[in-house]
Amino acid sequence: MPETPSFARPLPDLAELIASARVVTLPLATRFRGIDEREALLLEGENGWAEFSPFLEYDDAESATWLRAAVEFAWGEVPAVLRRSIPVNATVPAVHVDRVAGILKRFDGCRTAKIKVAERGQTLVEDISRVRRVRDLMGPEGRIRVDANGGWNVDEAEHAIHALAEFDLEYVEQPCETVPELVEIRRRTKYMGVPIAADESVRKEDDPIAVARSGAADILVLKAQPLGGIRRALDVIAEAGLPAVVSSALDTSVGLSMGAWLAAAVPELDYDCGLGTASLLSADVTDDPLHAVNGSIDVRRVIPSPRLLDGYAASAERRDWWLDRLKRCYALL
C-alpha cells in the first residue's frame, strides 16, 4: 500500500494509545469468514472512539494501515459529512438455505442483500440455492449482489455468473483473485450485463487504483480501515472515478461508525453500503449499536458501554497479543 497522507496533527504517543486501549472478544450470531468470534482493539482519542481490528492472519505491514485509520478517526482531522444516514444491505453468510430467512430478519427494512458464495468446501449448487432463496424472500424489487471473495478462477467465475444471472444480480463482487483475472472475467461476461465489483483488489494491492486503471471493475468496494482511513479512501474514490460501495470488515459498532462517516463524506453514494454487519454479531460494545433501522444506519460517533467492555473483555493472553501487535504496527507508522 502506498504511503498514506500525513496527519494534520502529530501522531499521539504510543503510551496514549495503550492507556485507552480496550480489547474485546465478541461472539458472532453465525459463523462468518471461518470464525465464530470477532476480536477488536478499541482506542479513545480526542475525537472519540475508534477501532483497530485487522484480521488475525494479517501481517504487521498490512495491519499498520488499519492502525493509521483508527488513529486518524480518534485523533486526526476527518472530513465534513454530506448526509446523516446511510442505506445498508443485509449480509447473508455462506449458510445452509434453511437459515437464510432467519438471517434476513436481522436486517430491518433492508432491500438489498449481499450473499456470500464460492465458500471453500461448498458447491455452486449450494450457492444457487442460497441466492434463489434470497430472491424468493425479497421479491422482484429486492436488489441482490453476490460476493465470491476471489474464490473462483476465471472459468469457474464465468460458469457461476451465467448460472446466477437469472436472479437479476446488481453486481458480482471480487469473482476472481487477481486484477488480470478480473479484466478477463469482465470481458467474458460483459454481454450478460452483470457489473463486476472489486474489493480485495483495491484494499490488498500495492496500488489500489490499478483495478480502475486496467478496466478490471465497474464498481469499487471500499473499507475505511484497510485503506488507511477516511481521507485516503476518499482520495482513492476521486482518483479511480468509479462508483463506490462503502463496506465493513465485520467491525464492532465503533468500527462501523468510521465506515458510516466515510460513506457520509462520499460525494455520490449510488449503492446501499455494506455497513449493517453489526447484525451478524451476538453482542456489541455499545448499548446503542449501529443496527439497520428501516434499511439505514445513523452517521454518529459510538460510545462503548463500560459494562459491555468489561463483560466481553478479551482474556489477558489475548489482550497482551493485541497490545504487542499495536506496538509493532505503531512503529511502522
List the binding residues for Mg(2+): 147, 173, 199
Residues contacting 188, CB < 8 A, separation 6+: 154, 158
Say how far apart CA 72 and CA 258 lie, in whole Å: 10
DSSP string, 66-90: HHHHHHHHHHS--PPPS-SEEEB-E
Q: Tally the residues of the chain.
A: 333
- CB of 52 closer than 8 Å to CB of 40: yes
Q: Which residues are catalytic?
A: 116, 223
**Residue 242, φ and ψ in degrees, nearest 5:** -115, 155
- Which cell is 77 given? 482531522
**Residue corresponding to grid cell 477516511:** 230
Residue ranges at the known binding site = 147, 173, 199
Say how far apart CA 174 and CA 127 lie, in whole Å: 15
Other Cβ atoms closer than 10 A to 165: 14
The strand order across the sheet containing 22-32 reads 22-32, 35-44, 49-52
- CB of 82 closer than 8 Å to CB of 267: yes
- CB of 285 closer than 8 Å to CB of 26: yes
**Residue 145 parent element (H or E):** strand 143-147
* Mode of pairing for the β-strands spanning 85-87 and 90-92: unpaired
Radius of gyration of the chain (CA): 19
Say how far apart CA 232 and CA 238 lie, in whole Å: 10
